[in-house]
């Protein structure tokens, strides 16, 4: 990574340049190469302009998400002359964090990164933003969606700024539902969805050629379903890991059954970066599956003449779904220079202003982070003809908060391993989750 110029150093260099060019007090200093005296600068001449501060912004976004990010970076760079943002792309969020960890170790960090890690913030790897925020006159903290803004706080300080909100929603092919006589508005429970998937799935000689539904690889979709059933990761007092409760085991084993026994659903796993994600989307768009569970941010990659969107269901006898609504956040590494930190905050403030967060929502499907974005004329106009943009907002109104892992990620890691065992290896949920609970509980006991 190039060592970035700091504004103070540039200003000093610019000052020396002015002194050298304009000279001191002797007459000889004002003699030009042609022998004549140079004209003295006008008394009201504007001060020399400092060079802009160039910073790197790391983000793990592909496809149209990456294109929209680059569009806003270019828009910011042309909107002012103080900061130049260079976007550095990684394959996904995980790779961004891995590379950031290596950068922190060497001290050569970006000024801003689309990543957040509460444990790293507590260890001092990220810079608190509170003082930087006060230097942004148009920040308007109260206008942020407070549940998203609060997710970026650690021990009462703002360490991360929400760039956009996300929640996992349901996308389905309109023709597949119509062909099977299924009304999406009537799918209120996971039981309803499983029955519909069974009705729509097509099998030939014991092999499924058209899948009724495709959950997304990983623990996320199954955790959402557990939360909707009343399950929790920890006990109320925070001392016991509860991921082997009946709500967990029953829910995860249903996913295993739908994938491996009924074969009405399937997942794509592995691959580079977001490869598994886009393979899942392709199955639906190419007519190989009736629907899938994906991010609100997928909307920029979908053709809504073919698909439509609906909220995640709840469970019979329990109530409406309560999937997680999470803020995707950006941070400023502590080892960045002071001028780079200020430049980074200017960029993050710009990205999250009303117009730009509305633009991001319109073009990606992610949730705006400012309340005023909902009144943005472009957003209002778009939502009238594209009602799917409202689905994430509606779901977020009764969503669960993301789990904050007190072990620095070890509970989440245990769940990731258990999810692979259930989804890929067809291991019964009770076995996978009990093992995960023991691992997670040991990690929790250690930090408590």
Query: Distance between CA atoms of 345 and 133, rounded to whole angstroms?
Result: 7
Q: Which residues pair with 330 in a beta bridge?
A: 161
Ramachandran region, residue 238 (left: φ > 0; alpha: ψ -120 to 50; beta: rest)? left
Give residues with Cβ within 8 angstroms of 18, minimum separation 6.
48
Q: For the CA atoms of 388, 393, 398, 401, what is the dihedral angle to 10 degrees?
A: 120
Per residue in 143-171, pLDDT (tens digit) is 999 889 999 999 999 999 999 999 999 99
Mean pLDDT, residues 100-105: 98
State the residue for tokens 């995860």.
Answer: 252
Query: Distance between CA atoms of 286 and 281, rounded to whole angstroms?
Result: 9
What is the CATH topology of the domain spanning 53-166+326-396?
D-Maltodextrin-Binding Protein; domain 2 (3.40.190)
Give residues with Cβ within 8 angstroms of 339, minimum separation 6.
6, 7, 8, 53
Mean pLDDT, residues 347-376: 94
User: Residue 202's Cα: distance from chain center in Å?
Assistant: 35
Count the neighbouring beta carbons within 10 Å of the beta carbon of residue 235. 11
State the residue for tokens 């709840």.
Answer: 314
Query: Phi first, then psi: what are they for 213, rounded to 5°?
Result: -165, 155
Ramachandran region, residue 408 (left: φ > 0; alpha: ψ -120 to 50; beta: rest)? left
Mean pLDDT, residues 66-77: 97
CATH 3.40.190.10 residue ranges for the chain? 53-166+326-396, 168-325+403-447
Predicted local confidence at residue 393, as pLDDT: 84
SS3 11: helix
**Mean per-residue pLDDT of the chain:** 89
Query: Distance between CA atoms of 405 and 353, rounded to whole angstroms?
Result: 30
Q: CA nearest 326: which of 390, 392, 387?
A: 392
> Taken in order 250, 264, 287, 272, is the CA torsion positive or negative?
positive
Per residue in 218-229, pLDDT (tens digit) is 999 999 999 999
* CB distance 172 to 184 below 8 Å: yes
Strands 157-158 and 160-173: unpaired
Predicted local confidence at residue 300, as pLDDT: 84
Per residue in 394-404, pLDDT (tens digit) is 888 888 989 98
Mean pLDDT, residues 169-187: 97
* CB distance 307 to 284 below 8 Å: yes
CATH of domain 168-325+403-447: 3.40.190.10
SS3 59: strand
Predicted local confidence at residue 189, as pLDDT: 98
Radius of gyration, alpha carbons of the chain: 26
SS3 154: strand
SS3 430: helix
Share of the chain above pLDDT 70, in %: 89
Mean pLDDT, residues 16-39: 34
Mean pLDDT, residues 177-193: 97
Strand intervals (E) in 213-304: 291-295
Q: Which two tokens stand for residue 258?
A: 């739908």
Strand intervals (E) in 300-423: 307-310, 325-331
Q: Which helix (H) or strand (E) holds 235?
A: none
Bigger pLDDT: 49 vs 104: 104
Give residues with Cβ within 8 angstroms of 180, minimum separation 6.
196, 199, 200, 290
Question: How distant, in Å, are the alpha carbons of 223, 228, 293, 400, 441 from that of 437?
Answer: 14, 20, 26, 21, 6
Strands 160-173 and 307-310: antiparallel
């Amino acid at each position: 990574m190039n060592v970035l110029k700091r504004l103070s150093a540039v200003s000093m260099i610019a000052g020396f340049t002015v002194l050298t060019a304009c000279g001191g007090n002797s007459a000889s200093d004002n003699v030009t190469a042609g022998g004549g005296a140079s004209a003295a600068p006008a008394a009201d001449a504007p001060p020399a302009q400092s060079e802009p501060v160039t910073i790197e912004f790391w983000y793990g976004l592909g496809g149209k998400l990456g294109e929209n990010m680059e569009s806003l970076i270019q828009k910011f760079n042309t909107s002012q002359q103080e900061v130049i943002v260079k976007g550095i792309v990684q394959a996904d969020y995980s790779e961004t964090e891995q590379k950031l960890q290596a950068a922190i170790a060497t001290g050569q960090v970006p000024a801003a990164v689309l990543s957040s890690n509460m444990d790293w913030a507590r260890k001092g790897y990220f810079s608190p933003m509170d003082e930087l925020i006060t230097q942004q006159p148009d920040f308007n903290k109260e206008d942020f969606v407070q549940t998203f803004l609060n997710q970026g706080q650690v021990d009462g300080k703002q360490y991360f700024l929400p760039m956009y909100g996300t929640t996992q929603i349901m996308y389905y092919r309109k023709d597949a539902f119509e062909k099977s006589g299924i009304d999406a508005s009537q799918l209120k429970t996971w039981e309803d969805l499983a029955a519909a998937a069974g009705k729509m799935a097509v099998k030939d000689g014991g092999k499924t050629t058209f899948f009724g539904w495709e959950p997304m690889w990983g623990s996320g979709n199954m955790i959402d379903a557990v939360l909707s059933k009343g399950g929790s990761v920890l006990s109320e007092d925070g001392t016991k890991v509860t991921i082997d409760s009946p709500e967990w085991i029953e829910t995860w084993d249903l996913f295993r059954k739908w994938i491996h026994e009924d074969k009405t659903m399937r997942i794509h796993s592995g691959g580079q970066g977001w490869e598994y994600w886009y393979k899942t989307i392709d199955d639906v768009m190419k007519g190989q599956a009736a629907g899938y569970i994906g991010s609100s941010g997928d909307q920029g990659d979908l053709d809504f003449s073919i698909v439509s969107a609906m909220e995640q269901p709840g469970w019979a006898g329990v109530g409406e779904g309560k999937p997680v609504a999470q803020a995707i956040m950006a941070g400023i590494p502590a080892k960045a220079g002071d001028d780079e930190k200020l430049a980074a905050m200017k960029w993050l403030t710009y990205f999250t202003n009303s117009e730009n967060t509305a633009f991001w929502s319109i073009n990606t499907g992610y949730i705006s982070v400012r309340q005023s974005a909902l009144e943005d004329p472009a957003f209002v106009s778009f939502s009238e003809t594209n009602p799917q943009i409202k689905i994430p907002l509606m779901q977020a109104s009764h969503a669960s908060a993301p789990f904050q892992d007190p072990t620095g990620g070890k509970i989440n890691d245990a769940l990731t391993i258990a999810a692979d065992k259930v989804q890929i290896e067809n291991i019964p949920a009770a076995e996978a989750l009990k093992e995960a609970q023991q691992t997670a509980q040991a990690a929790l006991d250690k930090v408590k």
